[in-house]
Amino acid sequence: MKTILIYSLLAMLTLGLGCKRSPVGEAVDPNPPQPPANCRIIKTTYKTPTLTREAKLITEPETITLDDKEKIQVSTVTKTTYKYDAQNRIIESRQENTLTYYLERFTYTDDYLIQYTEFTAVDNLVPTVIVDTIQLNKQGLMSRYNGLGEPFLLYNTEKQPIGNLYYPGKTHVYENGNLIQVIDNAFWVERDGQFVPTDYRLKRYNYSVNRPNISEVYQFRGQSSRSLPLKEVWEKYQSSQFPDGPVYQKTYTYSYDKLGRVKRRVVHGTPIRQGWMTEDDLYGVGVTDYEYECP
């Protein structure tokens, strides 16, 4: 991997794409229509609970009701916009919050993409810039996490990640196009010539099979499950801190616009095992709002 740190802006060509934004409104029908095909996300707004947050960092606060009927106040953490090329590949993302500004640009070739990352803190007007190369396979998917060299990331025929060559035991299990379990956060040890996981976390998923999943933004990282997830359960195995079994769960609830697209996703995580502290979202609650454009 070749990483270049510089302290000035780089001039790069950004491709524009003229697509129309579709009307947005709350779906009244409890069984919303199937969303139109080929719509893509152009903006996300991410919110988390305001508990313990400084007043100056609370923007656009609102009170939401979780799936267990608990009411909690959330406020905006980040807003991110996305641009795509004519082949529907991500070429730019811009993320802003009250403390930082984060920009990514992607330039594609047949064999690799160039990723330009610019990070600016509110108290430092001079950005930090990183330029890196990500190798692509024949499916247009990243074959390594960064740099050029021997490929090791593996995918199925639907362009979904299934593991890598270094850890044959690190498998993703799919059923009808949906990821139903995956091993992560594992220590891998070699036994009888093969790597096996120890002290690992197993994630299991359930889906709303009649609702298509939210469209993928970073397509080169592989496709996600076909359907909308409803529940995610974390299990720990061979751990020195917890007995084998479930330790944490997340529920997903959605609201839709009039076209049947996901307008808001609310994730609510709760510990199952006493003492479990790890969470993906602050206090286990993450709210994401989506805006789209359609061809």
pLDDT, tens digit, 9 for 90 and up, residues 171-197: 899 999 999 999 987 878 888 877 778
Q: What is the pLDDT of residue 67?
A: 95
Q: What is the pLDDT of residue 23?
A: 42
What tens digit of pLDDT does each residue of 67-111 get? 999 999 999 999 999 999 999 999 999 999 878 999 999 999 999
Q: What is the pLDDT of residue 7?
A: 34
Length of the chain: 295
Reported in sequence order, the residue ranges of the chain that DSSP labels E, i.e. its strands, are 4-6, 40-49, 62-65, 71-84, 90-96, 100-108, 112-121, 128-135, 153-155, 161-164, 172-175, 178-184, 187-191, 194-198, 200-212, 227-237, 245-256, 262-271, 285-293
Residue 167 DSSP class? -
Q: By C-alpha distance, which of 281, 182, 271, 179 is closest to 228?
A: 179
Cβ atoms within 10 A of the Cβ of 86, count?
8
Q: What is the pLDDT of residue 123?
A: 80
Percentage of the residues of the chain whose pLDDT score is greater than 70: 89
Domains of the chain, earliest start first: 21-26+34-293 (2.40.160)
Q: Residue 2 pLDDT > 60, yes or no?
A: no
Mean pLDDT for 126-155 is: 93
Q: What is the pLDDT of residue 186?
A: 80
Tell me the C-alpha distance between 179 and 52, whole Å.
35
